[in-house]
Structure 1
Amino acid sequence: MASSSRLPVGSLLSAARPGFHSVTIAAQTCQCRSFSRSSIAERAMRGMPQTMSVKQPAQPSMKTRGKEMSKSEMPQDLGLLPGTFVRPLWRDMPSIFQLPRERMQLEWLWIKQAFQNFLGILAYSKWLNKGLPLRLRERRQVACELYERMYTAYAEGDVATLRKICCTGLANSLTSRITNRPKDERVTWTLNKYNRTPATFLTGVRVLADRATQIPEIPKSGVRQVVLRITSRQSTGKVKLPTNKRGVVDETAVEAQDAAPAKQRDCTEYIVLQKLMWFGEEQEWRIWGHATPTTVEDLESPFFAPGLSLSDRMEAMKAMMEGKR
């Protein structure tokens, strides 16, 4: 899917014809009575206030509302861009011998989207927003920096840092977990190393998708998202803090408290970086959250299904969102 795509009474008539002739005759026989009653009702209604339809004030457009927003009010969590292909690990790909058709679909989709995404980044940076840097070299460096800061802040309970470097949804989720921790518990996290596996081209961090698109109805505004696979070895642990007789944590005795041995584990994560632009002003990189690899079942989605035109995809997506499918 190309990265530069933009996010997209009649009157009622009575059919009571039977008995029409008899109704007409009855109306003629009592015409005088009906007229006198209507005249009295008309004179009585003259002194009553009339119901007037009030025209509703016009609602401000998205462009106007966007200009009136402050930086703190602007939305950050726009969701993962539809149709983002996240390549699975080699061991999770369908077998070329057992499922050759599905395997070739994934491989072709990977090649096609890599080409389309690069063209989309060029159009977004050099045509739609002239003079915007491509930022190809800084993607992995920024991802590593924010990745370590996020987990360190989460372990230390640093909510301010999480809200600064994470999008709203992820920041709220991590903050909720911090709030639900026992008061006498401290979490530790250490990044031992990046695992330089073939899945990351022996670097530990590999860019899988880089997409950008303009935000409809808001000029000079857009979003760029980068999906990266990060393989690392981490150590996590929990420390039980001593408490006094009142149940209050004794911070002075923290150093003397023995901690349980930290657990090491190898992790493979799919981190999504996001950079927003509002009215020509770029914001800092943030971590949107975690993505999941694209599966064979996802190929049936209108985002990836082959043989569909753009209009067909839009109609299928609309029907799916409305719950028709």
Structure 2
Amino acid sequence: MAPHLQSKKRKRPNTLLDLADRQANASSNGSDTSKPTAVYTPTKGRSHTLSIALPGSIIANAQSHDLKTSMAGAIARAAAVFCVDEIVVFDDKQSQVLNKGRGSPVNGSSGFGDDCSKSFGKGGYGTMRGVAYTGYSDPDYFLYHLLSYLETPPNLRKALFPLHPNLRTAGTLPSIDMPHHLRADEWCQYREGVVVDPNASDDGSSWTGSYSGSSYSGSPPAPSKPSQIISLKKQKRFKKGSPPLAAFRHSNSPPVTLDLGAGAGNGAGPYTVVDAGLPQPIQLDLEEPIPPHTRVTLKLASAENPGYYYGLDAQPVDPAQPREEAGYYWGYQTRQASSLSAVFTECPFDGGYDVSVGTSERGMPVSQILARGGVPKEDDGGGGGGNLPDEFKHLILVFGGVSGLEVAAMADENLVAKGVTGKNVGSIFDAWVNLVPNQGSRTIRCEEAVWLGLMGFSEYVRRNGERQAEMSAGMKRMVQDMQKRRAMPSVTTIQMQNMDEVPTDMGFMPDTFIRPTGANVPSLIREPKIRLKMEYHWAKTRVYDIVSRLVYKFTTVKPRPAIGRRGIRQLALRLHKDMYTAFAYGDVQHLSTMCTDGIFNTFRARINARKPNERLYWARLSQSWPHIVSDRVTRIPVPGVDSKTSPCCIRQIVFRIKSKQSLIRGWVHKERGGRQRLLDSHGQELPVDQDGEVTIDRMRQDVRTVDEYFVLQKRMWMGKEESWSVWGLVDESNLDNLE
């Protein structure tokens, strides 16, 4: 027998051959599970979130280090399976009670006992100065530490997590293998990465996990307390081109303190080099380099694999962007809370959690709160907060420890001061739920309750996502009508005595050039003069756009208006969707608040022309990232008004949005007996869901690719900036009209 066959060492299968075999058998076994992204298929962007909160004292109840680690692994697995976006570890003041009499380690010892301490050996965990095992001394942080470690992609753990006794056996836990845990040969437009020192010498080894030669010795130290989630509202205003602090993710992994002030880039060089687990590192050209050993979320320029890895174009984005824009499940954030009330008061989401669910064996059965399909039931008057809303933005499920949420509430000074006791703790939640009525065991462990609770509310979460996905965003048929718009008159002809007389729609800015694309571009060989004229006109208008924005900013007295584009593309997608949604539903009031006068009058006329039984159903199934093709500012001279102290300007931005849309027109047909049916133009009945909306599967049957030029407008009157509004749609420029 060959020597390599006699070896008892387990061999790792050939990656490419193993992948090919699994893909070849995919047709017989179902979906190809060789990639996380093949298992989790994103559909649309998701704005709602799912959070869970549980006490760290459950770790203190475990008898050994292996049980503590296994418990954390089970919770992480449940969070990954049910797409949890946030895990909160709160202190219910029971850790010391449960640890009493167990001989918790002192004097900074490792905490594993004599046998485990001996197994560290020379140069192991025991040699790390200032690092102590927290499974007994601080169970809350132990759980936070393990959950953060497991969520981090494996190729980043070496750089973000130093050797620590808490993580000694974390490698034995089953992999949670989430969509952002990508292999080197897998492609996704979003990737997690870690900043490395570009001045480090490259010894030819793989970039993934290799940081030898870096000026930073070892991995960043583990913090004694968890980091706080960095808020966009509290961050400094950076120069144009620098990424927001929210793009640097610190809440999952032990954080690195960001100091992007003077000298922050010392040792980092002029570029930011990111190891994203690909064969080649990614170089980011930023004005202010990101410090080494910082975790970042990257968005690559190409959605498909370009076939090469050198010189890839990418930009750092907010960690929530893969979920909000592309619909990926992108892991969970982890944070600690000092008490049960701090779970809610320190919520990182705007507006807090709009739906909260507490779990207790003294609560109401899930079957009395949710009907089949996750439909909330109305409160029967029995109390306990059993009246959940149909939709939510941020849902949190709160689980108790060994003593339950009642004890956690009694140990919370803020709740006690407001009259909350163990008997009425259910009143602080929207629902007080018993996950397993008539349970056979005396107790249900917290890690078991997490699985049960997430499973019990999975249909409620799924239904909420489908309702948001099927919300219409507009109507394709309006494109031609909205494109037939007048041009803005010359600024010299605008003479207004009263600012109330100024219309919101003053037309499309003159000389705005929308560069043709695709087949509309003249050939450089057959029509060289027209092509060169087009390129010259495009370059000239681009320069004019830049100059107009700079003049608009620096000729205005302070406070100067902002001309940056941060967040403008997301706003364009949202307004594009909201505009079509309101039109399809006939919501004239909402259209009046977001549209200018011209497009609003067009919408209102078409809505009034509908028949009483006529219904429109529209959906945007997917869309490209908006491309800005024009961004210019025009001043409006007003007699008697100082243009420097009280400027009057109009700014218009033209976006190119390529999307897949579906439009279905239906008519409500009433039959004898009161039954109503929704019929299409051919008299066929349309399938509808429980809310009376056409099902998403039926909408996908009539998908069309639409390429639109969407225009947003902002006015500044008398030095006061207004909010962005929808101007409408335009066509590509006609080359025959070029001067």
In structure 1, what residue type is equivalent to 2:576? Answer: Y
Shift of 1:113: 1.4
Q: Is it true that 1:125 corresponds to 2:553 in the alignment?
A: yes
Q: For residue 164 of structure 1, give the secondary structure of its aligned residue in structure 2.
A: helix
Q: For residue 242 of structure 1, give the secondary structure of its aligned residue in structure 2.
A: strand
Q: Is it true that 1:76 corresponds to 2:504 in the alignment?
A: yes
Percent sequence identity is 32
Give 2:525's aligned residue. 97
The gaps in structure 1 that reach 5 residues or longer are 1-5, 9-60, 196-202, 300-304, 306-325
Give 2:596's aligned residue. 167
Q: Is the 8 A contact 2:667 2:678 kept in 1?
A: no
Q: For residue 230 of structure 1, give the secondary structure of its aligned residue in structure 2.
A: strand
Q: Is the 8 A contact 1:221 1:278 kept in 2?
A: yes
- Judging changes above 3 Å, is the alpha-carbon distance between structure 1 residues 266 and 103 closer, same or farther for their aligned structure 2 residues? same
Give 1:216's aligned residue. 637
Shift of 1:120: 0.9
In structure 1, what residue type is equivalent to 2:529? Answer: R
Give 1:292's aligned residue. 731
Give 2:5's aligned residue. none
Please, which of 709, 716, 723 is the counterpart of residue 277 of structure 1? 716
- Judging changes above 3 Å, is the alpha-carbon distance between structure 1 residues 7 and 129 closer, same or farther for their aligned structure 2 residues? farther
Q: Is the 8 A contact 1:117 1:210 kept in 2?
A: yes
Q: Is the 8 A contact 1:238 1:259 kept in 2?
A: no
In structure 1, what residue type is equivalent to 2:654? Answer: V
Shift of 1:225: 0.5
CA distance in 1, matches of 2:503, 2:650: 11
For 1:233-269, what per-residue CA distance to the aligned partner results, in whole angstroms no more than 9, with x for missing partners? Answer: 0111122212368xxxx7x846899327442100001
Give 1:236's aligned residue. 663
Q: For residue 498 of structure 2, give the secondary structure of its aligned residue in structure 1.
A: helix
Please, which of 133, 139, 148 is the counterpart of residue 577 of structure 2? 148
CA distance in 2, matches of 1:182, 1:148: 24
Shift of 1:145: 0.9
Shift of 1:91: 2.1
Q: For residue 553 of structure 2, give the secondary structure of its aligned residue in structure 1.
A: helix
CA distance in 1, matches of 2:667, 2:595: 28
1:256-271 matched pairs, under 5 angstroms: 258-259=685-686, 261-262=698-699, 263-271=702-710
CA distance in 2, matches of 1:90, 1:117: 23
Shift of 1:62: 4.9
Shift of 1:217: 1.6
Q: Is the 8 A contact 1:211 1:226 kept in 2?
A: yes
Q: How many residues align?
A: 225
Q: Is the 8 A contact 2:553 2:562 kept in 1?
A: yes
Shift of 1:229: 0.8
In structure 2, what residue type is equivalent to 1:226? Answer: I
Q: Is the 8 A contact 1:213 1:224 kept in 2?
A: yes
Q: Is the 8 A contact 2:668 2:678 kept in 1?
A: no
Please, which of 594, 614, 633 is the counterpart of residue 185 of structure 1? 614
CA distance in 1, matches of 2:526, 2:678: 57
Q: For residue 294 of structure 1, give the secondary structure of its aligned residue in structure 2.
A: coil
Q: Is it true that 1:65 corresponds to 2:498 in the alignment?
A: yes
Please, which of 520, 543, 557 is the counterpart of residue 115 of structure 1? 543
Q: Is the 8 A contact 1:86 1:294 kept in 2?
A: yes
- Judging changes above 3 Å, is the alpha-carbon distance between structure 1 residues 129 and 168 closer, same or farther for their aligned structure 2 residues? farther
Q: For residue 491 of structure 2, give the secondary structure of its aligned residue in structure 1.
A: coil
CA distance in 1, matches of 2:668, 2:564: 44
CA distance in 1, matches of 2:579, 2:723: 15
In structure 1, what residue type is equivalent to 2:703? Answer: Q
CA distance in 1, matches of 2:729, 2:595: 11
CA distance in 1, matches of 2:557, 2:653: 18
Q: For residue 241 of structure 1, give the secondary structure of its aligned residue in structure 2.
A: strand
Give 2:106's aligned residue. none
In structure 1, what residue type is equivalent to 2:653? Answer: V
CA distance in 1, matches of 2:678, 2:731: 40
CA distance in 2, matches of 1:292, 1:278: 28
Shift of 1:182: 1.4
TM-score by length of 2: 0.29
Q: Is the 8 A contact 1:87 1:208 kept in 2?
A: yes
Larger Rg: 1
1:2-13 matched pairs, under 5 angstroms: 7-8=491-492
CA distance in 2, matches of 1:63, 1:269: 34
Shift of 1:138: 2.8
Give 2:564's aligned residue. 135
Q: Is the 8 A contact 1:212 1:224 kept in 2?
A: yes
CA distance in 1, matches of 2:590, 2:564: 24
Shift of 1:96: 0.7
Give 2:154's aligned residue. none
1:46-61 matched pairs, under 5 angstroms: none
CA distance in 2, matches of 1:295, 1:94: 12
CA distance in 2, matches of 1:7, 1:279: 16
